[in-house]
Structure 1
Amino acid sequence: MPRLRRQLEEERRAREEAGRLQEEAERRIQPNTLLRLLDRCHESLSQAIRVETDATLTTQGDATDPVNRLYPKRIVPWPDFPQLQQQVWGKLDRTAAFTSRPLFPSDTQIDYVATNIQNNPIYSETSLRNFERDTVDNFVEKVIHPLRDDGALRHEFGIQGRVTFYDRVNPSETLLESSLGQMNLRDTRTPQRPANTRPRRARGRARGAAQGQKREGTARRRNRRADQFCVHIVANERHIPVHAVEFKAPHKVTIPELVAGLHQIDLARDAIDQEGDTFEFYATRLVAAVVTQIFSYMIYSGVRYGYICTGEAFVFLQIPKDDPTIVQYYLCIPNQDMQADDEFRLHRTAIGQVLAFTLQALTADAPSQEWHDAAHDKLIAWEVEYLDVLREIPETLRKDQPGSNYRPSHWKRDRKIHNTRSRTRCQPGVSTPKHPSTEGNGSEEESHSPSAAAASRSRSSRDRSNKTQSSRESGKTRSSRDNKQNSRKDGHSTRPYCTIACIHGIVSRRPLDKKCPNWELHGRERHSMGPREFTRQLHRQLSRNRDHGFEQLHICGRTGYLIKATLLSRGYTVIIKATTVEKQHRLEAEVDNYYRLRSLQGQHIPVCLGAFMPRIAYWYHGELMARMMVLSWSGTRLQHVINERNSSFFHQEREKALAVLRLHGVVHGDSEWRNMLWDDPGGRLVVVDLEDVKWLKRPQALDSASGNAQRGHRVKVGTQAKIPDQLNYYLHMTSPGPWLGLTS
């Protein structure tokens, strides 16, 4: 009997253990809550970091090369960083439905990552980048993604699209690669600011900057891009930089060096061309060089936030919006911060800090044009090789570094959670323009409309009557909504784009297009100005205020940077394609091609109203714009909407459009879908990016069949007295000399 009881007891325990293991297995595959995710990732991933200590197995190159990089005048502590981070967490904690719901990767998924990293010590920047991507970046993305599904949080943090991290060396999307490439890669020449952009009283202060920029241009920058960018991708094609990231292997920049070297630094006084023999001095020089590198990237990229990551430590940085000559820092060491036993310890994990920092940067005001002016006027380059800094450090100091006196700070609950949401990124009750590009609309909300409409037209032998009525109703709805408010508090226009027919009417002086959502603001029955006057007025408006009526779309191609522009006096809303001095020849060629193909404008290609050289400095992603071309908005970019159902139809439409170009003696050099738009109201495909066309024959000077010419007029070059006003401007533009810079 005792044996039987023991046997039954053992069987009971075995069943309980099997049940417990089954429950544990099922629990491990269930999604985690946010706080449990932070806890598990910290224990299994952050604390699993291994730093290679064998010098023969580590990379020994220079940690940074600050030669010809703009340096901050001062590096200062960021005292309110903990409070700002905690404000972000306060907003998340207020939404219990988000923080308490099991929405995030399971224990099984975390264990899989832990298995992959356990035998991979960090020995270089590349291995560090891989480690951070697997243990931090991917999880931050997975936390931010469901924020878009919560209306309150989406509005709170201004999230309009996907937030992701992209490496410099391996961008996975062509558009992003192009955007970031345009954002930071430059020629050796330094663009000259228009002569009359700065007040006379600023010349003395700017003299040093001009000299520094001259020195800066004498040697090509080896690399003008950070190791990584956090990017906010809106409507599939608007790539808005959020913050920059610079990786430094932990054997190159150690924790003791960061702790000793991070303090208030006046670089001219404490680091540049200075001598010393203490560990603190060398650490200060080292830290100043590393901070200078990412600071320079941030200035050139037009972002105010960034951080340095060694895997063991994070140095979070902010350039103040009112003073681009200084940078604020805050040092975090997650594996030591978590040892502090308080209620906010999980917020100070690596994922917790990067998550809150990213959300903080998302809600921050974008740098103003004046911020860029001050940065390029007041900052100069540091001409120091980091290898020299390394060689100056005695080997004994590097091998026998003093212990770190880093002490985690205790965060206190901030009961006054201020709304730090940016007026720049998103406004209450104001949506982003439905048509974000000139060249097209990549919005997710409307991405299926053109394809559905096109397929319908194909099936019904191009019967457009229903679609025309739908477009009218849609236009009336947009007009009613957008007429309530002409511009946001940041000056950006809330108006929808004018129709291509409306802008073409400026050229042809036709009656107003009443399908245009802005037509009631344009005047009475006809357009009151021609293309030359329109371009002149838009240029004057830009010269008076670079923000009001102008919104950067964060869409960058090989040549151009796109801007949404509204002529505030008349409500006309168009696209400006801007470019730098290095690439202005491409834009000039494109304007010339538009002129030669003027008979196709408004039908197969956008309407070009003119071009000008801005009389005032205009910055875009840190680049100085030198030429601007004014175009009509012309439809939805087809690369975002083409699919198996509509592919055949759009292929046919593209072939027809390209055939029309060939009939006019032109072969498009890049006929990919990114250069094809669908104008839904007009039911037609529009070809853009005419900078690379090949001319098969010399076109006639003026085409009598031109849609831009008045009926019954045949005009020859040289008979300018007989040339209609709308064509006279094109002749003015294409003549050698001042057409790119209107002087009045």
Structure 2
Amino acid sequence: RRREEEQRRREEEQRRREEEQRRREEAELRLQSTQQDLQSARQALRSEQLLRQALENRVNATTFEQFLQSCHEHLSVPLAFQPKKSKSTKGSITAPKGRYCPTTLREWSDFPHERDDLFGRVFHLLHPPKSHPLTVFTSPEGLKTIGNLACRRQMGSELDLMSYERFAVEEQVISIFQELAKLNTDSLLPNLGLGVSFENHANTLDENPGPAEQARRGWRPRSDQLCVFRRDGESESLLFVIEYKAGHKLQPVALKDGLQPCNFWEDIVQAHVIPKKDNEKERATYNARQLSGAAITQTFDYMIREGVEY
């Protein structure tokens, strides 16, 4: 009987140890489950924070660097030209008879250096090295909306191009100048003024020109021309003239072949002998030079008449 009681006690002790082991294992499983739930909750919270931050970044004003990247992504990349000739404007570039023309064409060899130097100055002002960058530009989401509207139509005419340029280029350039004008730019951009404006009428320079001035300004910008002014207080000065040309009328290959260093008067204006059709290469080069030369001469003539240096 004593052995039976000892056996029973040993069995009860074994059952008690097994029960304690089971409870410990269940507790460990509950703890692991709780830890997993906490980890999942943390991940969900982190994902929500990242999503909220991403949405805020797309909606809120952004930096100059992000602004340029978004302009490229939403305004430049989606731009497309009308492939069907039946839906594009007809005709070619008007022959610039009786206009002032340049005497020579030569490469602006130091342009890349000057461009990079100027961009570096602007970037330094908007991304100061010792503080946070300025977040003052249109958000990526805002530029996406502008791009959807500006790039909705395929470019098939000067009017299409003008509409695109107005919203996708001019307004964005103006916004950059507006922000720069709020800063102290005396050391880096001493000639900035108060910004720029894009106008369709050059006679805004002088509302009451005299007879001699009226004679000198016998021309008026057409609907496909734009005058760019530098604003400084209440005064404005004409910087340069823009003339819009539809992409199907003045293609990149024509500009590449036509804008080569040359004696403009002798090689283009006085080039009266048209290569024969069987000489395709020379004829293509001739046509490219005549086409790009006509475009250059029109704008050059307007700028000379207005006394613009560049």
Q: TM-score range by the shorter chain?
A: 0.7 to 0.9
User: Per-residue CA shift, 1:377-406, capped at 9, x if unaligned?
Assistant: xxxxxxxxxxxxxxxxxxxxxxxxxxxxxx
Residue number among 126, 129, 135 corresponding to 2:159 in the alignment: 126
Alignment of structure 1 residues 558-707 onto 2, 5 Å: none
Residue of 201, 205, 211 corresponding to 1:179: 205
Shift of 1:304: 2.3
Between structure 1 and structure 2, the one with the greater Rg is 2
Find the counterpart in structure 2 of residue 276 from structure 1. 274
Contact preservation (8 Å) 2:177, 2:194: no
Map 1:137-536 onto structure 2 (within 5 A): 137-153=170-186, 156-168=189-201, 178-179=204-205, 227-236=225-234, 238-273=235-270, 274-277=272-275, 278-305=283-310
Return closer, same or farther for 1:86/1:143 CA change in 2, 3 Å cut-off. Answer: same
Residue matched to 2:114: 84
Provide the residue aligned with 1:610 in structure 2.
none
| Whole-angstrom CA distance in 1 between matches of 2:207 and 2:286 | 36
Separation (CA, whole Å) in 2 of partners of 1:94 and 1:190: 42
The alpha-carbon deviation at position 116 of structure 1 amounts to: 1.0
CA contact (8 A) 2:241 2:303 kept: yes
The code of the aligned residue for 2:135 comes to P
In the TM superposition, residue 37 of structure 1 has moved relative to its aligned partner by: 1.3
- Change in Cα spacing, 1:81 to 1:181, as seen in structure 2 (3 Å) is farther
Cα deviation 1:101-147 (Å, max 9, x = unaligned)? 22221112211112212421111111111111212211111111122
- Structure number with the higher strand fraction is 1
Kept after mapping to 2: 8 A contact 1:28/1:108: yes
Counterpart in the other structure of 1:73:
103
**Could you tell me whether the CA contact under 8 Å between 2:185 and 2:192 is conserved in 1?**
no
CA contact (8 A) 2:199 2:226 kept: yes
- On the 8 A contact 1:161/1:233 being kept in 2, the answer is yes
Seen in structure 2, the aligned counterparts of structure 1 residues 229 and 221 have a Cα distance that, compared at 3 Å, is closer
Q: 1:20 pairs with 39, 42, 50, which one?
A: 50
Give me the identity figure in percent. 22
Return the offset for 1:295: 0.4
- Residue aligning to 1:692: none
Give, in angstroms, the shift of residue 223 of structure 1. 5.5
Structure 1 contact 226–244 (Cα < 8 Å) conserved = no
Per-residue CA shift, 1:310-338, capped at 9, x if unaligned?
Answer: xxxxxxxxxxxxxxxxxxxxxxxxxxxxx
5+ residue gaps, structure 1, are: 169-175, 192-219, 306-744
What's the counterpart of residue 128 of structure 2?
A: 97
- TM superposition shift of 1:9: 7.0
Distance 2:99 2:239 in 1: 21
User: TM-score when scaled to structure 1?
Assistant: 0.33
Cα displacement (A) at 1:63: 2.4
Deviation at 1:300, TM superposition (A): 1.1
Q: Contact (CA 8 Å) 2:216, 2:305: kept in 1 or not?
A: no
Call closer, same or farther: CA 1:159–1:140 in 2, change over 3 Å.
same
- Tell me whether 123-132 or 14-23 shows the greater mean CA deviation: 14-23
1:156–1:11 Cα change, 3 Å: closer
Question: SS of the residue aligned with 2:269?
Answer: coil
Contact kept in structure 1, 2:102 and 2:297, CA below 8 Å: yes
1:234 to partner: Cα distance = 2.8
Alpha-carbon distance, 1:38 to partner? 1.2
Q: Following the alignment from structure 2 to structure 1, what is the Cα–Cα distance between the partners of residues 153 and 224?
A: 24
Q: Secondary structure at the match of 1:45?
A: helix
Q: Are 1:50 and 2:80 an aligned pair? A: yes
Kindly provide the amino acid, as one letter, of the partner of residue 39 in structure 1: Q
Q: Distance in 2 between matches of 1:149 and 1:221?
A: 36
Q: CA deviation at 1:7?
A: 7.9
Displacement, 1:290? 0.5
Q: Is contact 1:74-1:267 (8 Å) kept? A: yes
- Structure 2 distance, partners of 1:232, 1:90, is 21
SS in 2 for 1:97: coil
Q: What is the root-mean-square deviation of aligned Cα atoms in Å?
A: 3.3
Shift of 1:97: 2.7
What per-residue deviation string (whole Å, max 9, x for no partner) do you get for residues 634-678 of structure 1?
xxxxxxxxxxxxxxxxxxxxxxxxxxxxxxxxxxxxxxxxxxxxx
> Number of residues paired by the alignment?
267
Flag the structure with higher helix content: 2
Change (3 A) 1:18 1:108: same
1:30 CA displacement:
2.4
> For 2:229, what is the secondary structure of its paired residue?
strand
Q: Is contact 2:93–2:291 with CA below 8 Å preserved after alignment?
A: no
TM-score scaled by structure 2? 0.74
